[in-house]
Amino acid sequence: MRMGTVLAVLAGLVELLLAGPWGGCHADPVTHSAAEVHAFYYAWYGNPKTDGHWSHWDASVMLRGGGSGAGHTPPGDIGATFYPAAGLYSSNSPDDVARHMAEIKRAGAGVAALSWWGTDQTPDSQVRMILDAADREGVKICFHLEPFPGRNAETARVAVAHIIDTWGAHPAFYRHNGKPLFYVYDSYLVPAEQWATLLKADGANTIRGTAQDALMVGLWVKEGDGKALVRGGFDGFYTYFATDGFTYGSTTAHWPTMEAFAREHGLLFIPSVGPGYDDTRIRPWNGANTRPREKGAYYDRMFGAALKANPDMISITSYNEWHEGTQIEPAVPKTAAGFTCPDYEGLEPGWYLDRTKYWTGQWTGK
């Protein structure tokens, strides 16, 4: 037999072996959908036309993470480095919320993770409006449980029960493999032993196996937080912060190690990516954590690192957290009170929506 024929036969045998159930090279790749891309969404903005007063644009309230914007005087001067192209909108305006959901869809994200501070700050009437607007665009809503006053394992259970019982039947209510999903911001503020009473199957106040069972996703901040999340019974973790290097969890170089930890413990791994960070209009002392956008290069690096880390889902920080400068919502330049809000470094106002669409397409294969 000629050498060429021998080589051809061997090549054919190798191809046959790889095509069989024992070969991995031809295995179907893992596919993802837009429902596995979640954009953090904030519904805390108000203006005099809709609400009778400014809310959050003046940043006069104390913000999550400390700092306040007392002294800002909208509409020209606001507690944010960037200025929204749509103007200072209201989160209680059906037209504004409809535009938000359309833009989230444009960005290729299938889910908006609604910041929820309790029914006093995030009333049911507002939640219904947001869900209805999301449904019209084919977007789903999950909930981001903030550290609302008095939050502990018991009050978190009450919150989860209220949200599921009230909104679980809405067509825009998000479920993953049949279960609602909740992000829990600053989950470390409640000891793991308390979370275990809620999230472990044998916990004294467990949700497991009940009508309120849900996927609970805790925040990984410090290096050892993964072990605490396991002890607490969480179903997964996310990293939230858009500043690469600010925390252990938000450091992209750590994501492969965190992904391996998730696989070892059967947890969902949901890294968070952002286009940049600048909160110096509300926290002037925090310039060390500013991350310039670099005409989109910073966003590209974070998104690329997330895809390489083999996550279960990807979260985007954020659609519209203007105070911290992490928004992908369109922005325009504006000068007032001696300060100039920049544009996106010459990029068109909606560039980050479309760049998100590019990366979500890489994720979903579309």
Decide: 59 and 323 in contact? Cβ < 8 Å: yes
% of the chain beyond a pLDDT of 90: 86
Q: How far apart are CA 151 and CA 195, in angstroms?
A: 11
- 10-19, 141-150, 215-224, range with the lowest pLDDT: 10-19
Angle at 292 between CA 287 and CA 295, to 5 degrees: 165
Amino acid 339 reads F
The predicted-structure confidence for 307-366, as pLDDT tens digits, reads as follows: 999 999 999 999 999 999 999 999 999 998 889 999 999 999 999 999 999 999 999 997
Looking at the predicted structure, is the pLDDT value of residue 5 above 50? no
- What domains appear along the chain, each with residue ranges and CATH number? 32-364 (3.20.20.80)
pTM of the model: 0.91
Q: Which helix (H) or strand (E) holds 197?
A: helix 192-199
Decide: 209 and 230 in contact? Cβ < 8 Å: no
> What pLDDT does 337 receive?
83
DSSP 81-122: SSEETT-S--TT-HHHHHHHHHHHHHTT--EEEEEE--TTTS
The predicted-structure confidence for 153-170, as pLDDT tens digits, reads as follows: 999 999 999 999 999 999
